[in-house]
Amino acid sequence: MALMKIVEFPDPRLRTVAQPVTVFDAELAKLVADMFETMYEAPGIGLAATQVDVHRQLLVVDVSEDKNQPLVLVNPRIVERSGTQVCQEGCLSVPGIFADVERAERIRVEAQDAKGAAQVIEADGLLAVCIQHEMDHLAGKLFVDYLSPLKRELVRKKLAKQRRNAA
């Protein structure tokens, strides 16, 4: 396994729309393992392939406290959603920034696992938020897109300042 570099906002690669996964092989299994290692190390609860500059419809999630409930979604599609919830979200691609985002409270997702087997996931609460957040990445969308243009510009400036100070 290997740690991967997480692409950070406002990098234009984060706007790339991911393509479907069509080959389920050892290379995909290694990518999944590397993504989990990267996500856990960051630390985070979700990571989309887009965030590590791989533009395939793949995401990994683990919202458990003990980090022992890994979930892999390949080619995910939300087929049902209900209710609304507002949750404060952060993102490994937008480090140190948090904002309230409104999302569906409950979702049903059809996807494949890392071996290509069909699966249906029923999710609510934090898991539903996390899956929706990561699926946005696959469509080239970020949680900051839900913010007003003014707040988005403030985020951009804050991140630029953090990078300057770190250099």
**105-138, pLDDT tens digit by residue?**
999 999 999 999 999 999 999 999 999 999 999 9
- pTM, two decimals, is 0.95
Fold annotation for 12-166: Peptide Deformylase (3.90.45)
Condensed to tens digits (0 to 9), the pLDDT of residues 26-43 reads 999 999 999 999 999 999
Residue type, position 85, single letter: Q
- Model confidence at 149, in pLDDT bands (50, 70, 90)? very high
Catalytic residue list: 134
pLDDT at res. 95: 92
- DSSP secondary structure of the chain: ----PPP-TT-GGGGPPPBPP---SHHHHHHHHHHHHHHHHTT-SEEEGGGGT--BSEEEE---TTS---EEEEEEEEEEEEEEEEEEEEETTEEEEEEEEEEEEEEEEEEE-TTS-EEEEEEEHHHHHHHHHHHHHHTT--GGGGS-HHHHHHHHHHHHHHHHHH-
Condensed to tens digits (0 to 9), the pLDDT of residues 52-98 reads 999 999 999 999 999 999 999 999 999 999 999 999 999 999 999 99
